[in-house]
């Protein structure tokens, strides 16, 4: 598909201005700009969080048996959370697969 000509774009812009008015279009573009700015800020903060988490692993000082049991419980909880996430992703992927499995019907 080809891009619209400059004349067509000008006609579309004029129709939009006539229908909505200059103030409405201006405020809409301001909201779009704020949304883009918020998105970029979120992406930047997310990448900073990922960079901070990718640092050196934390060293735990396990002095007592209770500390060891607490660390084991935390690891088991994290493992269970990861397994639940893996199961959810597997279920989601099977729900999204809408391709026919019987090739003879095609």
pLDDT tier at 77, thresholds 50, 70, 90:
very high
pLDDT tier at 21, thresholds 50, 70, 90:
confident
Return d(Cα 106, Cα 100) in angstroms, integer: 8
Least confident of 12-16, 22-26, 55-59, 98-102: 55-59
Domain-wise residue ranges, the chain: 11-50, 62-95
Which residues contact residue 46 at a Cβ distance below 8 angstroms, ignoring those fewer than 6 apart? none
Return d(Cα 87, Cα 83) in angstroms, integer: 6
pTM exceeding the 0.85 threshold for the entire prediction: no
């Amino acid at each position: 598909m080809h891009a619209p000509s400059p004349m067509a774009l000008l006609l579309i812009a004029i129709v939009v201005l006539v229908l909505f008015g200059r103030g409405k279009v201006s405020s809409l573009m301001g909201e779009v700009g704020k949304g883009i700015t918020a998105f970029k800020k979120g992406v930047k903060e997310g990448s900073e969080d990922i960079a901070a988490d990718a640092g050196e692993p934390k060293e735990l000082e396990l002095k007592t048996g209770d500390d060891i049991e607490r660390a084991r419980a935390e690891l088991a909880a994290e493992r269970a959370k990861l397994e639940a996430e893996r199961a959810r992703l597997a279920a989601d992927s099977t729900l999204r697969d809408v391709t026919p499995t019987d090739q003879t019907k095609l």
